[in-house]
Structure 1
Amino acid sequence: MALLSIRGDWYLYIWLIYYRKIYSAVIWLLGNHCRGDKSRSVISASAGGQSLASLHRVRTRRRKAQQLRNKHVVALVRRPSLRRIVMAPGASTAHAMMEDKEKALTNVSMRRRRISQFAPLLIALVGLPARGKSQLAHRLSRHLNWNGESTKVFDCSEYRRRHMALYGSHDIFRADNLQGSAIRRQSAREAVQDAVLWLKDGNSVAIFDGTNVTKEQRRELNECITDMGFRILFIECVCEDQELLERNIIEILHYSADYKDMTEEEAVDDLRKKLEHYMRQYEPIDGSLEALSFARVENMGDTVTAHKVSGQKESGILGYLSGMRALPQTLYFTRHGESEYNVLGRIGGDAVLSPRGERYAHGLAKHLNEMAAHEAFTVWTSELRRTKQTASEIMAPKRAIRALNELDAGICEGLTYEEMQERFPQEFAWRDQDKLRYRYPWGESYIDIMTRLRPVLSALEDEHNVVVVGHQAVLRCMLGYFLDAKLDELPYMNVPLHTIVKLTSYGYKYKVEMNKLPIECVDTHRQQPKNCSINRTTDDALVTVPSHYDTLPSNMWQNSEAQL
């Protein structure tokens, strides 16, 4: 019966549907009309106010309904159970992996953002023994210290030797040697701890000289350093050049403390087996698997590649590594012969050689010309007359370099120390207080010399058999660089006249030989006085001034002139 009643009133349902459509159309037209121009509206003020109020209520209800729907949609999307329902079969695992990867990348990026580019830097070396890691570490340390970055090398081998009274054999480097592995891990841990303390004390760079041959070692070190807020750069040393590799091995055998009590045959056999142990454990750095900032140096600078390297210090380090070469060196340094200003005790200027200085020029030329018969060399001089005169008789190519000119004394050029004390006692005292950083008025300081010597030293590191004929302050800085002297010691290094200083490289160190020719000269070396106050007396200020013509007994100069 109900079905028949519904079937008989079918026209009523059709009419209701049709009427609803007409009602909706009328409401839409009224809405558009009310939103139209007011000049076309003929609705009274009371009726218009009622229509606008009703439309405002409708829009408010629609806006709240839309916000509610959006809220429910967002809540549904955020619910993990509903997300898994709408995902395709088998996609949940992949989605979870993507979430984990995004979370890891977010953590890494946030960690990197927290570390400032000006934060202290730890450099960790990676590679097999005899690949030049120690040489690179110490050369890089010397370069960074010279450029004002307080740097120190922490050698893992030195820490290992503290735990062993005497090096036994290669067995300590076996992976299955539990006791040896424990000693090596403890040594690496102590080296890193000291490096961290060095950085926390306000220093710029620490270099961790170790092998770090496994991914696990590098991962732990990277996490430890970055969690402390320091930057870290790995440098992997690779050597495929057999000649370079053999030279590195020979240096290890000759200079390593591990082999000083072994015969040559025992040392060679032990080092060979040690290399085999490390090669079994070695896992080269893979940028696609390890989230590290690293550089790879092949054959000590022949090829340098970088991966995710950023930062001011790191960029400067890459520039130095790309120009580095591992060649044996022999360098010669000598001051010009005694000049007329040296005799008179005057500083700076462009004086010519004294008679004894000319004798030194002859003796230097004879000494070097005999050496040139066996091996070729070049001569570098400054642009001042006294260095060119000293090198004039040397039979070798010469190059005058402006950066090798003597320190510019500004308004004090050509003065004696006595005259400086008389005219500028305050300046003289300030210079004695900090000779390294003191700058003469309108002149230079030792720091200025170091700055202009940077390109010269970079070029000299790649040269062999070079003779540098220079000046006292300049040679102090150059010798201090190669001997890795402390900066405050540079102004007081003793570089006497008429002396040839020979530097011979072995590994990352230099052997020094002093050869003084038998030709008399004045002593221009002045030590720092104990009293550096600006209120000191003249006698206190001049107590360490070296003797010169005006202060030496006249009979001494008469005897000297008679000999000439």
Structure 2
Amino acid sequence: MVAFVGIPARGKTVMAHKLARYLNWTGEVAKVFTVSEYRRKLVEQYDSHDLFRADNREAMEIRKKSSVTAMEDAALWLKEEGNVAVLDGTNATKSQRENVYDYCAKLCCKVLFIESICDDDDILSRNIKEVLQNSPDYKDMAQEKAMDDFHHKIQHYLEQYEPINPKQEPNLRYIKIMNEGETISVRRVAGQIEGRILAFLSNFKPAPKTLYFSRHGESENNVLGRIGGDTNLSPRGRKYAQSLARHMNEVKIEGLKVWTSELCRTKQTAEGINAPAEHISALNELDAGVCEGLTYEGMQDKFPQEFAWRDQDKLRYRYPWGESYVDIMARLDPVLLELEHEDNVLVVSHQAVLRCILGYFLNKKPEELPYINVPLHTLIKITTDGYNCHMECTKLNVECVDTYRKQPKNCSADRTTDDALLTVPSHFDSLNFWQLTGQSSLITQH
């Protein structure tokens, strides 16, 4: 169990949800249990900060019951479903932390405390603004009254707050974070899961950020409907590269950085952008192994069994001598950690890779990743809002093929060729298609 510690407006809830999202991405099964949600079930209408006064005995019992119920639900979930329960609460006193520790000890469950401390006025101001905008407690309260009430609530917690003290609480294992990672102190953290937690918290910056993503421009293999390879951009792809560079240079994003894969089509797409570029192998397209350079028609002809297996479980299917989406997720781990503390980055990469990255930020289930539509010649903007992300797509006006393939209804190994190719996107049989007249060279499936 992971138990957060700290007074309100220290970014605990955002951190808790983002941590759970990251752990789920890495293959753990994590869930957040937010104590305030349990409190709202007991007190339907929040009236004032008096609920948090130390001398309000009735309210204290309600808050205690909320904490206990959240902890019990988290323990039951750990027993039946997952392996990391994240307890999102204040646990602001030594006695509250003792209760969590003792409860977990009885269940033979490890507990790691994460304490968030903040004395930076700018961070506090931003956090308070986010709470007032997003908390159900203040949705029907006038802004000025809500601000006053929340400041009183913080003051009540300050009067009761006891930071973790290793001399007084020698049994606790914890990570203590100051001002969103300005400094981090660690005590008795060990093991794979706790190592992942520490890695994430060392990189995560809760401040609002904007990230940009684009596939490379249309490539020669895209035109021909071929998988993978390291081909150049098509004439339309080069036109998109010019359009993308013009767009990014005109908006003049402060501190913009460009990340591309090591493949030439992404480098060519980004070469006109006035920003430092870094070429990262983890952003390379999924390796299709023996199927590199084949069309889907060719794969069905040469490897019909492989093609069927791919359609049956596209997430886990690994090309012979190649990769699967699960493999991409693993190699993207350091990239995602970098993106968690970066701002104003443009990532120019490939369809499968961007499906995984966008799926992470949009909190998609792993099974959804292989079917996220990431069209060519489109700039995607991701902005963070607390632990949620919003996506905005800008289609630049340059024609291109459509490479999106839906999962066919018939995925059996004994299906007909027509059934196997039913959802294969249209493509051309020649790179000189724009010069042809008369009969079209566009290959379509019916």
The match for 1:382 among 261, 271, 275 is 261
Q: 1:315 to 1:384 in 2, by over 3 A?
A: closer
Q: 1:254 to 1:518 in 2, by over 3 A?
A: same
The match for 2:193 among 296, 309, 313 is 313
Q: Deviations over 1:82-119 (max 9, x none)?
A: xxxxxxxxxxxxxxxxxxxxxxxxxxxxxxxxxxxxxx
The match for 2:229 among 349, 372, 390 is 349
Q: Deviations over 1:209-267 (max 9, x none)?
A: 00111222211211111211211111111112222122211211222222222222122
Q: Deviations over 1:456-485 (max 9, x none)?
A: 221222211111111000101111122222
Once the two structures are TM-superposed, the CA of residue 178 in structure 1 deviates from its matched residue by 3.6
CA distance in 1, matches of 2:375, 2:221: 15
In the alignment, structure 1 residue 169 sits paired with structure 2 residue 44: no
2:118 maps to 239
The match for 2:308 among 413, 426, 429 is 429
In the alignment, structure 1 residue 359 sits paired with structure 2 residue 239: yes
1:275 maps to 154
CA distance in 1, matches of 2:331, 2:128: 36
| Sequence identity (%) | 59
2:214 maps to 334
In the alignment, structure 1 residue 225 sits paired with structure 2 residue 104: yes
CA distance in 2, matches of 1:193, 1:542: 51
Once the two structures are TM-superposed, the CA of residue 311 in structure 1 deviates from its matched residue by 3.1
Q: 1:512 to 1:279 in 2, by over 3 A?
A: same
1:302 maps to 182
Q: Is the 8 A contact 1:302 1:322 kept in 2?
A: no
Once the two structures are TM-superposed, the CA of residue 510 in structure 1 deviates from its matched residue by 1.7
1:7 maps to none
2:62 maps to 183
Match of 1:491, SS state, is: helix
Q: Deviations over 1:469-512 (max 9, x none)?
A: 11000101111122222111111111111111111122222221
In the alignment, structure 1 residue 132 sits paired with structure 2 residue 5: no
**Ranges in structure 2 where 5+ consecutive residues have no aligned partner:** 441-446
- 1:35-434 correspondence runs (5 A): 122-290=1-169, 291-372=171-252, 375-434=254-313
Match of 2:285, SS state, is: coil
The match for 1:438 among 297, 314, 317 is 317
Match of 1:461, SS state, is: helix
2:443 maps to none
Match of 2:3, SS state, is: strand
The match for 2:334 among 448, 451, 455 is 455
CA distance in 1, matches of 2:270, 2:207: 26
Q: 1:557 to 1:150 in 2, by over 3 A?
A: farther
Structure 1's consecutive aligned runs of 4 or more residues displaced over 6 angstroms after TM superposition are 554-557
CA distance in 1, matches of 2:67, 2:315: 37
Q: Deviations over 1:370-394 (max 9, x none)?
A: 112x523111111112111111211
2:398 maps to 519
Structure 2 counterpart of 1:371, one-letter code: V
Once the two structures are TM-superposed, the CA of residue 364 in structure 1 deviates from its matched residue by 0.8
Once the two structures are TM-superposed, the CA of residue 555 in structure 1 deviates from its matched residue by 11
CA distance in 2, matches of 1:342, 1:321: 39
Match of 2:222, SS state, is: helix
CA distance in 2, matches of 1:309, 1:315: 7
Moved more, 178-187 or 152-161: 178-187
The match for 1:476 among 347, 351, 355 is 355
Moved more, 128-137 or 351-360: 351-360
CA distance in 1, matches of 2:434, 2:221: 20
CA distance in 2, matches of 1:557, 1:185: 76
CA distance in 2, matches of 1:223, 1:287: 17
Match of 1:427, SS state, is: helix
Q: Is the 8 A contact 1:330 1:504 kept in 2?
A: yes
When the two structures are superposed, what TM-score results if normalisation uses the length of structure 2?
0.92
CA distance in 1, matches of 2:40, 2:403: 44
- Asked which structure has the greater RCO (Cα within 8 Å, sep 6+), the reply is 2
Q: Is the 8 A contact 1:338 1:354 kept in 2?
A: yes
Structure 2 counterpart of 1:128, one-letter code: I
CA distance in 2, matches of 1:556, 1:266: 69
In the alignment, structure 1 residue 530 sits paired with structure 2 residue 414: no
Structure 1 counterpart of 2:62, one-letter code: I
Once the two structures are TM-superposed, the CA of residue 177 in structure 1 deviates from its matched residue by 2.8
CA distance in 2, matches of 1:284, 1:392: 51
CA distance in 2, matches of 1:457, 1:522: 29
Match of 1:420, SS state, is: helix
CA RMSD in angstroms, aligned pairs only: 2.3
Q: Deviations over 1:420-459 (max 9, x none)?
A: 1111111111111211111101111111111221222212
Once the two structures are TM-superposed, the CA of residue 557 in structure 1 deviates from its matched residue by 8.2
Once the two structures are TM-superposed, the CA of residue 197 in structure 1 deviates from its matched residue by 2.2
Once the two structures are TM-superposed, the CA of residue 407 in structure 1 deviates from its matched residue by 0.6
Q: 1:556 to 1:543 in 2, by over 3 A?
A: farther
Q: Normalized per residue, which structure has more helix?
A: 1
Q: 1:376 to 1:214 in 2, by over 3 A?
A: closer
Once the two structures are TM-superposed, the CA of residue 182 in structure 1 deviates from its matched residue by 3.1
Structure 2 counterpart of 1:311, one-letter code: G
Once the two structures are TM-superposed, the CA of residue 320 in structure 1 deviates from its matched residue by 3.0
Q: 1:339 to 1:149 in 2, by over 3 A?
A: same
Q: Is the 8 A contact 2:203 2:338 kept in 1?
A: no
Once the two structures are TM-superposed, the CA of residue 127 in structure 1 deviates from its matched residue by 0.5
